[in-house]
Every structure is written in C-alpha cells, then in structure tokens.
Amino acid sequence: MIRLITQPTEYLENYHHTYGDIFAVGWQKPPGVVYVNHPEGIQQIFTANPALFRSGSGGAVLRDLLGDFSVLLLDGDRHIRQRKLLMPPFHGDRLKAYGKLICEITQETAASLQVGQSFRVRSLMQEITLGVILQAVFGLQSGERFNQLRRLLGELLESLGSPIGAALLFFSGLRQDWGAWSPWGRFLRLKQQVDRLLYDEIHERQANLDPTRTDILTLLLSARDEAGQPMSDTELRDELITLLLAGHETTASALTWALYWMHSLPEVESKLRSELQTLSTTEPSQPDPDQITRLPYLTALCQETLRLYPVALTAGVRMLKEPMDIMGYELPAGAVLFPCTYLVHHNEAIYPNSKQFRPERFLERSFSSSEFLPFGGGHRYCIGAALAMLEMKLALATLLQCWTFDLPPQKPIRPVRRGVTLAPPGHFKLRVQRSSENGYRSTNSR
C-alpha cells in the first residue's frame, strides 16, 4: 500500500511484468483486489450487468471528501437517478455554451504572464480550470464568495495533494482530529468552511431562482426526477463538490502534461501551431470554439496526453456481488475489480513504444472503449468527459494563440501521486518567450 501511494506507476508496472494481464493483490486476506489489464477483460466488465457490482461503495475512500450522495459513490437506482439529473448540462447545446467562457477565462488568467518570466505550469492551469468550474458550475464571476471558494478549494486540495495527504485517504487510522494543526483536523476545518459557502450559495439561489441563467447549479436546482422530486440540499452539495474537485484538479493535470509534451518535443508544438493557423477569424472576434474543437491534431494531442499518463490509474472500482468469470478466471463474490487504465494504455500490442508521446496514433487508427479509457466506461463513464475535452482543447488553443513558451533546462518530469490521482509535479515550469503579435489575446496581456 505504501508503494502504491508513493510510486504508483512503478507499483503497477512491476506487478504486470511479473504476473501479466490479470493479477490479484492481497488475496490471502479477502476481499482480494484484482487488476484487470487487458481489453478483453475490461470489455467484460464494462458490458456486464451493473447489478453484478457494487461500484459506488468501492469508492468509500472518497466519502469523507465528497459526501454520501456523490454520484461517484452511489449504486443501483440511486446512482441511475443522480446520473439522469446530472447529465443534461454536460451535453449538446448546453455544453457548447461554455466554449466562449473557457476561452475568456484562459485569456484573463494568462494575461498576468510577463515575457521572460518562468511560471509553475500546474498552478496556472489550476487557476484556469477552477475559474471555469466556478463560473460554469456556479455562475460565480466575482465577489467575496467567489474569492473565498477559490482560496479554500485550493487549500483543501493541497491538504490531500502530497503522498502524506494521500495516506490520510488510504489509511483510516490516520484520520484523527487532533486539532487545527493536525493534517486531518486541518482538512475537516477547511471542508466545513467550503460546505458553509456551498450551502449559502444553494440557499440564496433557491430563494432567487433565475431560470434564464445557464450555469450548472441553476440547471440542477430546476431538475426533477421521474417522481417530480428535486435534489435535496445535501445531494446538491455533494454533487457540486464532486464537480468542483473532480473537474478542476483532473483537467489541470491533463493541461499541464499537454504543455510539457509539446514543449519537450518541438515537432509536436510546430504541428499544433501550424494547425491553429488554419483557423479563420476576423478581428476583433475570436475563432469559433466549434472550429477549435474539430481540429484533428489538437484532438489527437489531447487524447495522447490522456493515454500516456491518465489522471485516474483505474476506471473506477467494482466489487462483485456474485461470482464472475473474467478471462477464464472464476472470481468469487467480494472480489474488488480494478479495470487498470494505466496498464491498458501501455499495452505494447495496442500502443507500440507506449512510453513515447506520439499524437499520430489517434490519427492513424481508432481505439475501442476498452483500449482507450481515460474517462472510465460502462455505466460508470465520467459525466464530465465531454466538458473536460472541450476545456483542454480550448484552453490549449487560446494559450498558444496568445503566447509562445519555451522549456528551461531541467530533468524529464515523472508523474507523482496527488491524492487519488496521478499528476505532473508542481515544480514543473515553462518560460514566457513572447506574446503573439497575431492571433487573439487579452487586451491586458503584454
């Protein structure tokens, strides 16, 4: 467990090298954990009857953070109900409405950069993605509550971001409140402050519901299930904190990796910049976000970023309620299944030279949902997947249209544990080389 926390990719690679496409850990003390690392087994899990699994309960490690009603932690009819209520804001025209907002927030956030300045990439990406989440989810653009949420959410994530913080999630014995200066005590107090702000916003918006607003909170406040019932305040809080934390942190990590790879490999950056130059725009208007999202090389670059170091090492957790045959193994009830995204993404038969960053893979062929699974699959597929891809494409395109960066001399970076996710290290920096004379950019940028 300690190695899984501190060296997650090495942990998985060593077991896979020794035991192959399906292996069990801790089988001597049931329930055993079974890693399924082959598309055949992944497909069996994704297409199986959801009633075979307890999927939400396996995520209890997150319960203290997200609450009992998070869609990530629910099963059965309750899970289906919450997904139906949450899905509409993340599809179709509703999703497209956030395109311009993402471009504007990226411009405004990056406007503080100065030519010649080196900056911590993940910090800037977190600022962009948190701004998107606060405005798209809450409709908050400024004010005291916006500033407090931005500060407290950052502190809450940082409290769990280190290996020590991750240990609090994995080892229940460490979750002891010994006052504000203890790690768990600090986490609980930060969470209480965030909860107070979330409930204040929920209650204020309930009292002054404006159906013309397009933010996700307004849509959730108006949503009704098949029985005509709205979400409770607690359900709203748990889903909002899930969207805030999952949508903010994961996309920031993916954006950071994308910028690292394109500046480590000049040919990748050159191809992307050439493609961006094909966008049509007439000043002072910006390129249509729809144009950007359809760019094939940009799409492939985002997909390759999510393949090489997926933010989630596994596609969720599924505990068997009854025996199941997977790849010829009869697994008993109680076995905990991890469809292993990371190891499938590094299967050399599917992705030759898998450690090489090569977006062309996704232009040369398509991959099945059991071969490329950065957002999970089956009935647990990530609700926010389309928004995450939209945000990645638009933020990257906007940054490269506004700025040129270079990579200062440094050692190659490796992924690190950040809470329950895989992330680039916080010390990774780029240097601002120049601002673009062409393309669109904030009037405040220099």
Domains and CATH numbers, the chain: 62-307+372-435 (1.10.630.10)
Phi, psi of 53 (to 5 degrees): -120, 150
Q: Which whole number is the average pLDDT over 389-406?
A: 95
In what helix (H) or strand (E) does residue 260 lie, and over which residues does it extend? helix 233-264
Phi, psi of 65 (to 5 degrees): -90, -45
Residue 223 clears pLDDT 70, i.e. is over it? yes
Query: Which tens digit of pLDDT belongs to each residue from 280-322?
Result: 765 444 668 889 999 999 999 999 999 999 999 999 899 999 9
Query: Which tens digit of pLDDT belongs to each residue from 226-252?
Result: 899 999 999 999 999 888 878 888 999
More confident residue, 426 or 351: 351
> Contact 382/251 with Cβ under 8 angstroms?
no
Which residue in the block uniquely carries the two structure tokens 């989440």?
133
Ranges 252-261, 332-341, 410-419: which has the least confidence: 410-419
Q: pTM of the predicted model, to two decimals?
A: 0.93
Which residue in the block uniquely carries the two structure tokens 């997150």?
62
Residue 442 clears pLDDT 70, i.e. is over it? no
**In whole angstroms, what is the distance from residue 362 CA to residue 31 CA?**
38
Residue 272 clears pLDDT 90, i.e. is over it? yes
pLDDT interval class at 60 (50, 70, 90): low
> Contact 320/53 with Cβ under 8 angstroms?
yes
CA 165 to chain centroid, in Å, comes to: 18
Provide the token pair at 326: 């997977």
Query: Which tens digit of pLDDT belongs to each residue from 336-354?
Result: 999 999 999 999 999 999 9
